[in-house]
Structure 1
Amino acid sequence: MSIGDTRLEIGHVLFIDIVGYSKLLVKQQSELLRELNEVVSGTNEFRQAESAGKLIRLPTGDGMALVFRTNTEAPAECAIEIARALKSHPAIQLRMGIHSGPVNEVVDVNQRANIAGAGINMAQRVMDCGDAGHILLSKHVAEDLEQDDRWRPLLHDLGTCEVKHGIRVGVTNLYSDEVGNPQLPKKFQTLQKHRSRVRWAEVAIAFLVLAAVVAAFIFVLRKPTRSVLSVAEKSIAVLPFENLSEEKANAFFADGVQDEILTDLARVADLKVISRTSVMQYKDTAARNLREIGEKLGVAHLLEGSVQRVANKVRVNAQLIDARNDAHLWAQTYDRDLADVFAIQSEIAEAIAQQLQAHLSSTEKAQINTTPTTDLVAYDLFLRARQLGDLSNNPDAKGSLLQAITLLEEALRRDPKFLRAHCLMCEIHLDLYWEGFDHTDARRELARVA
């Protein structure tokens, strides 16, 4: 089909994502995807649409997108069937998003059908607002379904949610006593808390007219009490490590040390570990208020440190802090050969687990002590590529993403078994595809084979 022949149509999209997929081992990921494919392809709605030639399935790495060209109800019917079937597959935790919107069909040289367009992107954004078990609908789809008495009792309006690039979307939660997740998604819980704080602030301002000193006193006393009681004891955030190397370009290496320690701690089931995305906002070490950071992230402990790299030597300093009272619980400095950097990261993770009295199984300990690669040059290339990949949300990120792919190709030439480089390669190809920088069949295929 030529560009001139491309036509827009309305696609009814069901976007499916496996929650926690990135934390699984490769074998576990493959097994879950196999099970998910069996569950999805076994639903009546899927089979009917496929036999009628009215369905396109797009793999997304950690799930799939189903584009129905039948009717508005099809994605919701399919989602409910999937949710019922998953009761006998407890290992698969899904979140699903549904939207009907413009898509355009593309046929490649092998006559394979592909679908792109805003309809798919919006379904993904709606899904991103949910947690495990949620079936979320865009406001547009919910308004269509509520015209039918059969659907109306299942639809529960959540309001608006801010998604990628600051876009706000109206979201409805679809659930019944049998399927779906009636719990308020975490993103909406955060929004609700924010609105509660705003309302409290307005009341407090009015009250200050009569009792300013008393109101301020109550606010100061109560806020820390709530925070201390609600924070889990075995919880930690690994803050960005400071780069003390003379070459400031080595910041990517300090970020890599922090991320490896965070990843190792996240493998310990007995610990609550805050994600890398949430902690990267605290990169400025001079502006840190540790108590405030601990309260905002909802953790009892913080790990911070510094990295200094000189030639083939590395110095890593790490310290564990109780965020509730600023007490230093543990600190250590490691001066080693650069080749020992993975051992340093593992030792720090084990020391932190011990300090927090977290149970560490033999499997978890073995995973922590597994090195991602034996080639330090390949590891350097991987870290540089990931730093460029972090720019994917920028409107002009295409050049950075393509440069990241070049670095990863070189890393994989040096170590073809470097699994994390393969995973990052897939992720960056998908960023190029879904962000519209290169929305082609060829790019999606590159992500699949990465």
Structure 2
Amino acid sequence: MLDEVAVGKNRCPDEDGDARPFVVEWDATDLAGFEAKASRDLVFVKYEGCEIQMLYGCSDNGVPGRYGAYETPIFTSGTVESFEMRDQSEVYAKLPLGAASFAGKLEVGQALELRYFVSGAVNSTRNYVERSAIADNGRCSAATHFVSAYNLGAFRLLAHELAGGQIEGGVGQAGVGTRTNSESSNLKQGGDLDSCETRGQQHCRVPIRLVLQAIDETTQDLDASAAGAARPDPEPAEDTVSERAAKLRHAAEDKGDAGDGAGCLADLDRADALDNSDETRVKSLWIRSLCTMVAGNCQGGKDMLVEAISLADKKKKLSELQIHVQLNQAELAYCPLDQIPESLQGAAMFTRIRTARSENQPALCEANAEAALELIRKQRKAGTKPDHSAMEALGEASACLWSRGNCEAAKKWAIQSSLEYRHDQDQAEARKEAEEVWVKRYDETGCSN
């Protein structure tokens, strides 16, 4: 029926280009899946017909961040905003992904209102993705867009009864009327809007809106500066060659820190092509060594790092032990876990959870906790003593998740940590005591999950 009217024929005008849809229809499982994937890789989607399909298989299982990754969240000040939808065309225009579910509410004399608060944004390390970059991966063939950024915050979707064609007491209509509980109902909620007005905003940091960018079907020359080039040089014209190279190296470092090793190496190639002088060679090689590790070549990156350390240590003051310590620290922080000796994997997981906690990346905390638990169980099955750092990683993950307001997950890992330390005891009794300790130690009155 709806497809017979204009809104049905043209209800998603942005699906062939860039779009910024709200994801109010996602449930807890959808949110968890997205956050877990975004903690490791750039997220690709198929977006058409007011529907979005997350292509979580569009990645390289062996190399996290091969196609891109996401930077540390940037938190901003904000205020509660809202908009209303009084007919189906407005629902499809403003909430295309949830239109099929929510438009029916308008057929029973109701209007919809979305109240939301944007507390921050997470940007990807890529400002575009060419089709050729993912062409060799069949699991990416259906991709039409990638998530170039997403907003964090909270929302509440309400249905209001219409009185004489008007919403009673709506936002921006003070004095028009007053709603009663029977006149409004809460259809959907993500996070906690009330938490957005608090200092900590612990429950105001769930993904609420995606920025979708269409896959680039053509190959672009990033260094083209001629008039009419598809992608003009992003650097200001007044920059010198060395300044441009320095900016590219800085961008490469940011990509490497975000887990986008391939993007980091691509920026370094461009920087070195502009300026490969003796003054910049050591820094460039140092960054390249770390990004080579992130990109999946641990040993190759370590070899480069030894060379970079040697070039930087002109007076040869560093001992072999000091060089070994630097290599070990880099390996724990940047190398793929499956390329690190098992004896060091627990330490790597603990290190990465602590870093993720400081950089507000709870999904990474939980992902490394899962890896630590898998390692512990593998070692127990083999009859060996579980790695101490892997055991410690479970408690560190709990602290990370608690600091972000995810009380349910924090409790889960705190109890799991206790159970692993008391593995030889009665597990039912150990769980009961761990839960009692949790209740006594933590105040969950402010938790929403």
TM class by shorter chain equals under 0.3
Give the TM-score of the pair, scaled to structure 1. 0.27
Which has the larger strand fraction?
1
Which has the larger helix fraction?
1
